[in-house]
Amino acid sequence: MIDAELHAAAEAARALATLTSARKDAALLAIADAIDASTAAIIAANAEDLERGHHAGLSTGLLDRLRLDEGRVAALAAAVRDVVALPDPVGTVVRGSRLPNGIHLSEVRVPFGVVGAIYEARPNVTVDIAALALKSGNAAVLRGGSAAESSNRVLVDVLQGALESVGLPRAAVQTIDARGRAGATALMQARGLVDVLIPRGSADLIQTVVRESTVPVIETGAGVVHIFLDATADAASAIDIVHNAKVQRPSVCNAVETVLVHRDSLERIVPSLLADLRAANVTVRGDARVRELDESVELATDDDFATEHMALELSIAVVDDLDAALSHIRRFSTKHTESIITTDMANAERFLAEVDSAVVMVNASTRFSDGGEFGFGAEVGISTQKLHARGPMGLPELTSTKWIVRGSGQVRG
């Protein structure tokens, strides 16, 4: 059982909820400085995780997500400092009014309380969620999985030491990795002690949490991400965008997995696109019409179009028009991110209006679907649900609201 940790988190959350923005920012700056000062220890612990991961046969994509080097550790500290620069959402008035009887109403943002997170092979998530939780007045209970256990243990120790140095409770950020699968199960069943649970990782992990949790879940999603090259797509721009969306970091959820090509762009764009992708060691699979153009392309199956590869693998399908592209996306999308490359603004507006995904783009790489890129400092995850939060989740998405009623003796007749 993890009752002791959860009760400590609830007590810490009550303390955090009343902190001034200045005190929260001081804690975040202490965390950023502590991460910088502990770079060597963090990288050494991460090396242990990487070695275990290699022996366990983790995929290239998962190993890339797991890896921390000096640059990535510095980026963790920088992301925390970015959160300091963001406005504190707590206390923000969402709406308000004065009733005819003189009562003043205001709906204000308040912390959730205790935020739980279950994720895998992503030690950066440990820092991102802790920083966002702290700034929004929440305590965080983290289950980062066995793949990153050494990294997360050191990171949480660094975070807790920094919190303690500015007079805040260590229990404001906790890891239950040492509790193993039983700890994850207990976290999912901790309704009444944990206010919201956020899963990040594979589709299997996310669906397990959604299915088994009695705690309210903000569902993040796997990224079967699409780019549609319309009939009027500029060839050079299309190739650059697809290359960036697939190659820049293939192991992340906003990397493109399927490129849809209008039939009028097939011969104009695809040969050069295939050459570019092959030069970047991308394995390309295509439908029958792509194979007619280039017989060396492997035949794509429905399973390929439905898979988040998190690797240098890409599927290409040819469609007759925008309607066919929209139909393909409706069938295979995980409602994460989709982009259209076009100079036809009517088609662009239809795409934006009709694609039912959390993030929809025109003439841009899907790699921009990210809390940091959106100016959120960091992100809790990318929500693919429609309740409360959708898309990259930053500080406001870690708050709820409550109504404040100020009267002067009014009674209801």
DSSP 388: S
Give residue-wise pLDDT tens across range 108-162: 999 999 999 999 888 999 999 999 999 999 999 999 989 999 999 999 999 999 9
pLDDT tens string, the chain, 413 residues long: the values are 588 999 999 999 999 999 999 999 999 999 999 999 999 999 999 999 999 999 999 988 889 889 999 999 999 999 999 999 999 999 999 999 999 999 999 999 999 999 999 998 889 999 999 999 999 999 999 999 899 999 999 999 999 999 999 999 999 999 999 998 999 999 999 999 999 999 988 788 888 999 999 999 998 878 999 999 999 999 999 999 999 999 999 988 999 999 999 999 999 999 999 999 999 999 999 999 999 999 999 999 999 999 999 899 999 999 999 999 999 999 999 999 999 999 999 999 999 999 999 999 999 999 999 988 998 877 888 998 888 889 999 999 999 999 999 999 999 98
180: number of Cβ within 10 Å: 13
Instruction: Give the dihedral sign, CA 261/266/269/270.
Output: positive
In three-state secondary structure terms, 334 is coil
CB-CB contact of 315 with 300 (8 Å): yes
Domains of the chain by start residue, with CATH: 3-218+393-406 (3.40.605.10), 225-368 (3.40.309.10)
pLDDT confidence of residue 319 = 98
pLDDT confidence of residue 375 = 86
Please list, in sequence order, all residues whose beta carbon lies within 8 angstroms of the beta carbon of residue 218, skipping any fewer than 6 positions away.
Answer: 196, 197, 198, 380, 381, 383, 385, 388, 389, 393, 397
Q: Strand pairing of 359-362 and 337-341?
A: parallel
pLDDT confidence of residue 203 = 80
pLDDT confidence of residue 205 = 87
pLDDT confidence of residue 76 = 96
Q: Identify residue 2 by its one-letter amino acid code.
A: I
Q: Identify residue 111 by its one-letter amino acid code.
A: P
Round to whole Å and give the CA distance between 85 and 258.
Answer: 36
pLDDT confidence of residue 1 = 58
Q: Strand pairing of 114-119 and 313-319?
A: unpaired
150: number of Cβ within 10 Å: 21
**324 to 224, 318, 321, 329, 377: CA distances (angstroms):** 17, 9, 5, 9, 37
